[in-house]
Amino acid sequence: MRELSYLEAIREALVQEMRRDERVFVIGEDVGVYGGAFGVTRGMFEEFGEERIIDTPISELGIAGAITGAALTGMRPVGEIMFMDFTTLSTEQLVNQAAKIRFMFGGKATVPFVLRCPAGSGTGAAAQHSQSLENWFVHVPGLKVVMPSTPYDAKGLLLAAVRDDNPVIFVEHKLLYKSKGHVPEHDYTIPLSKSEVKREGSDLTIVATAIMVQRALQASEQLAGEGIEIEVVDPRTLKPLDAEPIVQSVIKTGRVLIIHEAAKTGGFGGELAAVIAESEAFDYLDAPIVRLAGRDMPIPYNRTLEYHTVPQVEDIVVKAREIVQGRV
């Protein structure tokens, strides 16, 4: 079974799509000769040249504006923001322009771009380079938001995102880049609204995103030794959300724990809790809906403090055990 890292899967998706479609190009800071801040585009400059692997000045607003304009003229650009934190500088183009153009022009104009955003903590990069801001964009009508948790999903979702006629915010957790998994060499896509059950269980549903999917799976294996069987559901695409597999899982287990790295207040977990509470699953709940998320504070530089700022495997084990045992 062929294995690639998460990083390699993203690179392969970009290379295959650029070979297939000459409208696709990559643009961002240091994506060319340097190969990207995390090495995702390494080697691509040599194959595709400076007209399709484009280095930019340090201007995230400029990158967002460039991909918006290029998409409007028929190209399919893939922008890279070196750290998701700096989408804060891109939001005028993303929120006020790209997200609204198709609606304002009655569908006669499309904005088919992907903005890749390395996100998350765990690298010692401190408060300005470690944030998870996905829910800012989930809130904006007109944007799609994708958060793959495995190499297989990363390739399939990225290929689907590049071919989509809407702007897509593609969130890549930095700690996942080295993780490995099965990735077919052939071209395949995963629809941008298809949740997946990553592990089946009967006692508790965990809905998790990005790196938290992997931590939830690790915690589930530990809890299985205690006779507690966890079902893990990965939305993969946060917007548009495929809620049905989540609802059906909660109906099955009667309990749900929602986990994400972003700060708890205003995070995607609150939206998921509302979706579950407003669905038929509410009548099947045997325990309150519980969220486990990042603390409402900036990410510390100190590695010990950083570790305790976001949910870890041991935190998931403790919280899941409490829910199943009726102690919440």
Asked if 269 and 291 touch (Cβ cutoff 8 Å), the reply is yes
Does an H or E element contain 256, and which?
strand 256-263
Q: What is the 3-state secondary structure (H, E, C) of 69-121?
A: HHHHCCCEEEEECCCHHHHHHCHHHHHHHHHHHHHHCCCCCCCCCEEEEEECC
For β-strands 144-146 and 237-239, DSSP reports them as antiparallel
- Catalytic residue among 129, 139, 182, 186, which? 129
Residue 129 annotated as catalytic: yes
For β-strands 144-146 and 290-294, DSSP reports them as unpaired
- CB atoms under 10 Å from CB of 5, counted, come to 17
- CB atoms under 10 Å from CB of 177, counted, come to 20
C-alpha 184: how far from chain center: 20
Cα(276)–Cα(272) distance, integer angstroms: 6
Cα(166)–Cα(109) distance, integer angstroms: 10
The sheet that has 196-199: what strands, in order across it? 196-199, 230-234, 204-208, 256-263, 290-294
For β-strands 290-294 and 256-263, DSSP reports them as parallel
Instruction: Give the residue numbers annotated as catalytic, written as ranges.
Output: 129
